[in-house]
Chains A and B, each alone.
Chain A
Amino acid sequence: MATAEATTKTLKVQRFKPSENPTNTYLTDEKGVWAWMTTVDHKKIGIMYLVAVAFFFALGGFLAIALRTKLLTGASIDFIDADAYNQLFTLHGAIMVFFVLVPSIPAALGNFIMPMQLGAKDVAFPRLNLASFYIYVVGAIFTFIALALNGLDTGWTFYTPYSTESGSSVIWVTTGVFILGFSSILTGTNFITTIHKLRAPGITWSKLPLNIWALYATSVIQVLATPVLAITLLLLIMERWLGIGIFDPAMGGDPVLFQHFFWFYSHPAVYIMIVPGFGIISEVISTFSKKTVFGYWAIALSSLAIAFIGFLVWGHHMFTSGQSAVATTVFSFLTFLVGIPTGIKIFNWVATLYKGSIKMDTPMLYVFIFLFLFSIGGFTGIMLGTLSVNIHLHDTYYVVAHFHYVMMGGTLIALLAGLHYWWPKMTGKMYNERLGKVSAVLIFIGFNVTFLPQFVMGSQGMPRRYYNYIDQFAPFHQTSTIGSYILGVGFLIMLYYLLHSLFRGEKAPANPWGSRALEWQATSPPDFHNFGHTPVVIHGPYDYHQPMEEFQLGIAVDTNGHGKDTHVEPDDPELDKWKNYSLG
């Protein structure tokens, strides 16, 4: 194995200072639509995922705005009747969960960044990576067919027996999600193998960026949980199609069994969504504090701990479904346990900030928003895991608010932090910092105006998924709707300045944030092979007390078969210092 050899063998290294004006990048290497569609380059595949995720986010967001607009009043409005409303919230949930949150960070940002952070040229199985993208597209096509036929009105959870009786296109959507699952499984398989086998010389497990640890934990969950969803959906399809009698009580089946099966995947799935977000937060917080991450191992291992405990808590979705008292007690206790590794992370991040040189650029602003919103989401999750409180809050807007605080306030905000952080690396362009901050603040305000009132009305008894409400809840619903409009404006501003930066943005330097992490030691945008050389790593990714030049080492050119030394600037006198340096 590569790393084992590195410890026993002496490598001759030299410094490779990334060029500020790269002539040959992954964006110029292969051009044209066909080249993009058939590429096996992880960076292009990541970008394609990003575009797809952005598209589905816009679609899901549009549905959410329509929902909130309807909820301005309790009565019917012209274009949304009760059945249409059921379809809207179902599709909003299904699209946001399966098409946005699950693939967003690992498949889009992770695909782009992970091999670069490992100093690899690509993921272990590049063709499989491209295949996962197309499997995702096929899954999406099935969902669109369902939309064109009868839509879907079961809620994103497809609970039986309603999902076996509903007149909507359940089979199309579940088949779509079944197919989508394989995309997730293959990405997870690919990432685990890549992290084990494709690390550059010197990158030991203790020098892995925390983003890699988070992606590793995520991939483990993807590989272990997603197949169970696949078999569940297959059984559901068979139940609806043939009536095999497993989930439908009318035919001898058990609907609670479906819930067990479904949540055995879908609870770990929320960790598939949030854990990679944790990875981004660790990266950004260190870069913008210019400081070593506090408690490296605590953060790294708590990701794995969350992945592990996450498998044992699915029963907390069924406290009111007729589970035995013993089971509910155990599940409640295990649910509280998740709070421990999560708390460890939060405290370590805050400790990282302590005495750091904090720079409040847009990515860092999102980190603060994350810390604030995700903490609220986490604490309300503990409340929902409490048995007695859960009976009262079950299926109310309190659950809706909690879920949005962790998923949108957590995952999505982390995604935005990562997007702004790596945008210069991915596109080679800087965005408008001022507009970035304006939009972040609007999103923060809009988010809280939308979802804080939902905690209140939920605790007062407003059930989720209801089309109508009594007057008592009108002010909360109306405030919430106004908040969603503010949120929408925030995202439109972001769309504007990101597109603007693509076409008119300033050129990004190789390392605009002064980060020590390996991906920033490549050019912006990176070379087709990520680095023109084989990188060699001697320090951890957060060792800000070490000089920058020691983070830019690679195997000396004369023994590098590629002989690509386009990034070496021979005039630099500092380079001489590393001429005869050996890593042994």
Chain B
Amino acid sequence: MANHSSTHPAHVQHHFVDSEQQFDSAKMGMWVFIVNEVLFFGGLFCAYIVFRTWYPDLFTQAATQLDTFWGAVNTVVLIGSSLTVAMAIRSAQKNQQRGLEINLLITIALACVFLVIKYFEYSHKIHIGILPGAENYTFEGIDHPLAHVFFGIYYIMTGVHGLHVIVGIGLMLWIYFRARKGEFGSEYYTPVEITGLYWHLVDLIWIFLFPLLYLIE
């Protein structure tokens, strides 16, 4: 371990020995948090598996009400945003200030596009009476007594994921404003990197949600 040198860079917090230790710790912390997120969504996937096993007809019938085209567009949008966030990290590592800012902005914009598309999907369903909850659900186009259960699962899975997208937008705005102040560069890009890690997770969860909800037959 290096000594607590007097040339402690400003971005290193007092309890770390050096920049490398701080970076390693932050990265590991985010990975542990990602494990926790996987378990969190794992519970939902588990509920999905259980109900799909019990009522396979319900799932194939109800899934026809989901718009595969816009779901696919959203998938492309999120994968694209994962690419741009990775490029943002690369820019930070190479001291490309402009590239960092632009890539963060594109990522934020793509995340917003995702939410807008999701908004239209939700409002269409609400309009025709597909609401979460047995008593609110009034749609009659699906001939199954438990149709509301599928959409209950759909709303919670996509809703919790949407919440993660919103949190991600908040984080990236914060990173963007810090980037504009010139806080990041090859010496210090830890927050960019771990926000990127988080964003990849959000993307990855959608990559599982899309086929499980939209593409079943």
User: A residues touching B (Cβ–Cβ < 8 Å)?
Assistant: 1-3, 5-6, 11, 120-126, 128, 185, 188-190, 192-194, 196-198, 200-201, 223-228, 230-232, 234-235, 238, 241-246, 251-254, 257, 261, 534, 555, 559-562
Interface centre among A11, A200, A231 (most CB of B within 10 A): A231
Q: Digitize B84-124: 1 where CB-to-A-CB distance is under 8 Å, 0 elsewhere.
A: 00000000000000000000000000000000000000000
Contact residues in A for B25 (Cβ distance below 8 Å): 124-125, 193-194, 196-198
Q: How many A-B residue pairs have CB under 8 A?
A: 143
Q: Given that A243-B133, A245-B152, A560-B3 are known contacts, is A192 also in contact with B24, CB under 8 Å in the complex?
A: no
Contact residues in A for B17 (Cβ distance below 8 Å): 2, 534
* B40 and A228 contacting across the interface, CB-CB below 8 Å: yes
Contact residues in B for A200 (Cβ distance below 8 Å): 1
Q: Whole-angstrom distance between the alpha carbons of A122 and B15 in the complex?
A: 6
* A242 and B29 contacting across the interface, CB-CB below 8 Å: no
Contact residues in A for B153 (Cβ distance below 8 Å): 244, 246
* A189 and B133 contacting across the interface, CB-CB below 8 Å: no
* A534 and B152 contacting across the interface, CB-CB below 8 Å: no
A131 nearest CB across to chain B (Å): 13
Q: Which of B3, B33, B44 contacts A534 (CB 8 A)?
A: B3
Q: Whole-angstrom distance between the alpha carbons of A490 and B194 in the complex?
A: 50
Q: Which of A3, A190, A197, A251 contacts B134 (CB 8 A)?
A: A251
B209 nearest CB across to chain A (Å): 14
Is B142 close to A, CB under 8 A? Answer: no
Q: Which of A120, A198, A234, A246 contacts B149 (CB 8 A)?
A: A246
B58 nearest CB across to chain A (Å): 9
* B29 and A189 contacting across the interface, CB-CB below 8 Å: yes
Q: Which of A3, A122, A261, A562 contacts B43 (CB 8 A)?
A: A261
Interface centre among B5, B16, B39, B146 (most CB of A within 10 A): B39
Pairs A-B, 6 closest by C-beta atoms: A244-B152, A242-B133, A231-B43, A227-B40, A561-B4, A122-B15
* A2 and B1 contacting across the interface, CB-CB below 8 Å: yes
* A228 and B15 contacting across the interface, CB-CB below 8 Å: no
Contact residues in A for B5 (Cβ distance below 8 Å): 561
Is B156 close to A, CB under 8 A? Answer: yes
Contact residues in A for B43 (Cβ distance below 8 Å): 227-228, 230-232, 235, 261
- Among B133-166, those with CB < 8 Å from A are 133-136, 145-146, 148-149, 152-153, 155-156, 160
Q: Whole-angstrom distance between the alpha carbons of A192 and B35 in the complex?
A: 12
* B15 and A126 contacting across the interface, CB-CB below 8 Å: yes
* B40 and A231 contacting across the interface, CB-CB below 8 Å: yes
Q: Which of A123, A193, A244, A534 contacts B4 (CB 8 A)?
A: A534
Is B8 close to A, CB under 8 A? Answer: yes
Contact residues in A for B6 (Cβ distance below 8 Å): 561
A184 nearest CB across to chain B (Å): 10
